[in-house]
Amino acid sequence: MKYDYSRQFSGGLKSAAFVAAALLFLYSGHDQPNQLEQVLQRGDLTMLTRNGASTYYLGPEGATGPEVELVREFTEYLGIELQIKAAAAFNQLSGLLDRRRGEMIAANLTRTTDRELVFNFGPDYQETSIVVIYRRGQARPRTVGDLVSLKIMVIAGSSYEEALEAARKDHPGLEWESRSDVGMEELLLAVSDGAVDVTLADSNIFNLNGHFYPRVATAFSFPGTLPLAWAFRAGPDDSLVREARIFLREFKRSGRLAALHEAFYSSRTRMDRVGMFQFMRQVRKRLPPLITVFQEVAQAHNMDWRLLAAIGYQESHWDPDASSFTGVRGVMMLTRRTAAQLGVDNRLDPRQSIEGGARYFVDLHRRIPSRIAEPDRTWLALAAYNMGMGHVEDVRVLTQKQGGNPDSWTDVKQRLDLLSQEKWHRQTRYGYARGFEAKQYVSNIQSYYETLVWMDTREHPLLVAKL
């Protein structure tokens, strides 16, 4: 799926009174404008965050992630631009805020009692709990007491450290290692590989990433839940916080917050959701009226129609009316920006959508270095279709650094997971990416393509339309 983050949020949230107030301060002669006035005067707001699946990463269409999209909604409500600054480590965020490198922290930050002494928190927008993650096949810890003598690793400066510190009052033998040079995905991998016994994670983060690490599971949860909130500089100036409260209250009421979380956290949006049974059902139900279109468009672009159809199935299950919260629509789930670039004015028209998807893929295929032979060239182009050409180039560089062949899909595929690991993605130009999703995306399309080839070469009765 390619994401479109053109906002559809109602401009009605920005009341006439708010606009009038904004104009008033411009002519009020204030010597020291408050935080809200400063960002309105400047025309942008900088969010401080971390590179990761639940916060910020670069997708095919640019910066995205649950935190990015929520703050983007806020800045569009204010009528200003969003700027993003990613910290190299979680425990650097507070210092960046104090040094005024940004106006707010939006980094899956839990609001705790200790942090309330340091930050001016905005309203809660999500709840999470702290879960203990262990490796399947090992003895499952069921209480905090079972963690004593285990090798524990957590992110430095996180709420996980606070939870362990509190637990150590009743369990003096509890020890752990705090690391500032790793991200959550890397810790999950460490548990999966047996390098550490357990780690701690927010439940929402684990729900987002856990299914990509089948060897790990939740052991138990710490008691209670913790709210997630934006953090602003401490002090009497709460002008931005007040505006955030107004925005989030209406954003929740409208259902848009729930839709945003659904778009990123729901398992229904994940690439591994489809089985072959469902695929064959849609071959019978949805493909027949589209076969001729796939064939004609593919022929016009010198493509294999079965590959084009496989991409269309992965994107939308061949549903011409498909849409998502993020604004992608149609058989090929084109974004507004991509559709505009390709001259597609009606994404819900199957022929226009399939034509746009074909041209988008052909362009990516052309940009893959000419020395790369098939089928590697196609698989790399498909990975770029999913996560962007920049990330494909990043993983090819990593592959070469590790002694692999950057022109081999087999070698590159083995390194795609590295793009979600702190140790590796900080070495790349474009940073964090859900490489494991791109790997699954290409694998799915390969399966659908092979099935369509098998059916087509045997003149399967379901594939009745021919040029």
| Per-residue pLDDT tens over the stretch 211-228 | 667 889 999 999 999 999
pLDDT in tens, 368-410: 999 999 999 999 999 999 999 999 999 999 999 999 999 999 9
CATH 1.10.530.10-classified regions of the chain = 274-457
Q: How far is Cα 464 from Cα 290, in angstroms, rounded to an integer?
A: 11
- Of the candidates 315, 355, 393, 437, the residue annotated as catalytic is 315
The helix/strand/coil state of 186 is helix
Q: Dihedral, CA atoms, 254, 256, 257, 262, nearest 10 degrees?
A: 140
Residue with tokens 């928190």: 121
Q: Is the pLDDT of residue 18 over 60?
A: no
pLDDT range class, residue 454, cuts 50, 70, 90:
confident
Active site residue 103: no
pLDDT for the residue 92: 92
Q: Is the pLDDT of residue 186 over 90?
A: no
Instruction: Please compute the mean of the pLDDT values over residues 9-24 and round it to a whole number.
Output: 44
Q: Is the pLDDT of residue 200 over 60?
A: yes
Q: Is the pLDDT of residue 23 over 60?
A: no
Residue with tokens 């401009």: 11
pLDDT for the residue 198: 97
CATH hierarchy code of domain 130-224:
3.40.190.10
CA angle 118, 124, 125 (to 5 degrees): 135
Radius of gyration of the chain (CA): 24
pLDDT range class, residue 267, cuts 50, 70, 90:
low
Q: How far is Cα 21 from Cα 79, in angstroms, rounded to an integer?
A: 14
pLDDT for the residue 413: 95
pLDDT for the residue 20: 41
pLDDT in tens, 280-310: 778 888 999 999 999 999 999 999 999 999 9
Q: How far is Cα 40 from Cα 77, in angstroms, rounded to an integer?
A: 11
> For 52-61, 92-101, 339-348, which range has the lowest pLDDT when averaged over its residues?
52-61
Instruction: Please compute the mean of the pLDDT values over residues 7-29 and round it to a whole number.
Output: 44
Q: How far is Cα 1 from Cα 460, in angstroms, rounded to an integer?
A: 29
pLDDT for the residue 271: 36
Tell me how crowded residue 375 is: count the other CB atoms within 10 A of its CB.
13
Average pLDDT, the chain: 87
At residue 302, what is the residue type?
Answer: N
CATH hierarchy code of domain 11-125+228-265:
3.40.190.10
For the chain, what percentages of helix, strand and coil (3-state, to nearest 5) are there?
50, 15, 35
Instruction: Please compute the mean of the pLDDT values over residues 52-79 and round it to a whole number.
Output: 87
CATH 3.40.190.10-classified regions of the chain = 11-125+228-265, 130-224
User: Residue 197's closest CA among 146, 137, 135, 131?
Assistant: 135
Q: Is the pLDDT of residue 47 over 80?
A: yes
pLDDT range class, residue 457, cuts 50, 70, 90:
low
- Domain 274-457 class in CATH: mainly alpha
